[in-house]
Amino acid sequence: MLLLDIMSKNVTNEVYIIAEIGQNHQGSVDTAKLMILEAKKAGCHCVKFQKSDLKAKFARSALERNYISDHAWAKTYGEHKEYLEFSKDQYRQLQAYSKAIEIDFTASAMDEQSLDFLVELKVPFIKIGSGDANNFPLLIKAAAMMIPLVISTGMQTMQTVDKIVEIMNQAGNNNFALMHCVSSYPTAYGDCNLRMIPALMTRFPNVTIGYSGHELGQSITKAAVLAGARIVERHFTLDKTQKGSDHRCSLEPRELLCLIEGINQFKVNQTLCNPSYSSNEIIQMLDGDDDLKASLIEITQKEILQCELACRCKLGKSVVAARQLEKGHILQSVDLCIKVSEPSGITAEKYFDVIGMQLICGVDEDEAITENVLMT
């Protein structure tokens, strides 16, 4: 499989292309099938969805909150998500359809139940989205399953990325890739930070680095490939003007085709034999404008960006009580889980720090663990 050849560095002059259908199917299996067909026609290697078990991904508070947005499919966030969530049976139908037209099929596992389901489906790899890049228990479980993983790094610091790599190494799982990603929809060109791609390549020389882009248009993604990305993921839509949070920053079939043709041209010209070009070289090669230059500004650190805070607030994960807990209780791993909660609590990357701490008051099942309930 091409992705495994890229991950094991058996091939260097190739880029694996994922069409992220995500929730752009508007809740319709027929539309999803049409999108799979269009992604295949454009030359993608893979179509990807987002699988959630809503009660495992979201705390009750997050499911019950009102969702006031032009992109809302229902009054509460939980009902909105339910409208867009395909059942296991629908996943099997979409997988069978993808197999019939010979395109890889997978999804992001947005909680442990969904991870189990995707493993059962025998997908070729599992995506861990940026919202779960700091969900260390999920990563530990996924790493131990020895299934190839593609892990996005939006809304995370370098410290968290180091921890992801440590988890994979500890599990002995070498089949994983890290995706540079900025979780802002659409991402302004100046926030794309494409120089993070060579920075990640230098820091983790044995790891394949990819790019999951949320910017408008397709030229920045071509630049990401020249900067070193060997896996590319872009949201895909049949019509960018449709209702839904992700359509605007998605590519329509003709744009996806154009992106893939551009990448194929790099392959024909053996351009990708050089693992990574400098910003000046990229600007020259793509006849770059100010937008491209802005995406290539020098950066030294990987931080959570200002533009990512809205997404982190909406979909970032917190440490949550797995069951009702009494005042004085000393927290164990079985007492805790990681979910999107409203309001949010201690961020997921601090999960291991919370274990062993004592509660100064009782906490309900599904309630976020905040600093206020912990003895200092």
Query: In sequence order, what E strands does the chain have?
Result: 16-22, 46-51, 104-109, 126-128, 149-152, 176-181, 208-213, 231-235, 318-321, 336-339
Dist. CA 120–CA 296, nearest whole Å:
41
Would you say 141 and 83 are in contact if contact means Cβ atoms under 8 Å apart? Answer: no
* Least distance (Å) between residue 164 CB and ligand LRY: 16
Backbone torsions φ then ψ of 63, nearest 5 degrees: -75, -30
- The CA–CA distances, whole Å, from 211 to 198, 227, 285 equal 11, 10, 19
Selected binder of ligand LRY within 42, 58, 129, 339 (CB under 6 A): 129
Q: Which is nearer to ligand PEP, 50 or 173 (CB)?
A: 50
Q: How far is the CB of 373 from ligand LRY (least distance, A)?
A: 26
Under the binding rule (CB under 6 A), the answer on residue 71 touching ligand LRY is: yes
Residue 179 interacts with, from ligand LRY, ligand PEP, none (CB under 5-8 Å by kind): ligand PEP
Question: Considering only 89-97, 178-186, 251-259, 359-367, which stretch makes contact with ligand PEP by CB under 6 A?
Answer: 178-186
3 state DSSP class of 103? coil
**Closest residue to bound ligand LRY by CB:** 245
Q: Which of residues 317-356 bind ligand LRY (CB under 6 A)?
A: none
Is the preceding peptide bond at 186 cis, omega within 30 degrees of 0? Answer: yes
- Quick note: the x/- pattern for ligand LRY over 268-287, rule CB under 6 A, is --------------------
**Min dist. Cβ of residue 138 to ligand LRY (A):** 13
The answer to the question of residue 50 lying near ligand LRY (CB under 6 A) is yes
127 lies in the binding site for ligand PEP (CB under 6 A): yes
Q: Which is nearer to ligand PEP, 32 or 179 (CB)?
A: 179
Amino acid, res. 98: S
33 binds ligand LRY (CB under 6 A): no
- Choose one: 136-144, 179-187, 337-345, 354-362; the region binding ligand PEP (CB under 6 A): 179-187
Please list, residue by residue across 41-52, b when 16 or more beta carbons sit within 10 angstroms of its beta carbon and e when fewer do.
Answer: ebbbbbbbbbbb
181 binds, among ligand PEP, ligand LRY, none (CB under 5 to 8 A by kind): ligand PEP
Helices 158-171 + 136-144 axis angle, to 10:
30
Binding to ligand PEP by residue 130, rule CB under 6 A? yes
Phi then psi dihedrals of residue 151, to 5 deg = -115, 120
Backbone angles phi, psi at 38, to 5 degrees: -65, -35
What would the two tokens of residue 93 be? 């139908």
Residues forming the site for ligand LRY (CB under 6 A): 22-23, 50, 71, 129-131, 183, 185, 245-246, 311, 315
Residues forming the site for ligand PEP (CB under 6 A): 20, 50, 108, 127, 129-131, 152, 154, 179, 181, 183, 212, 233
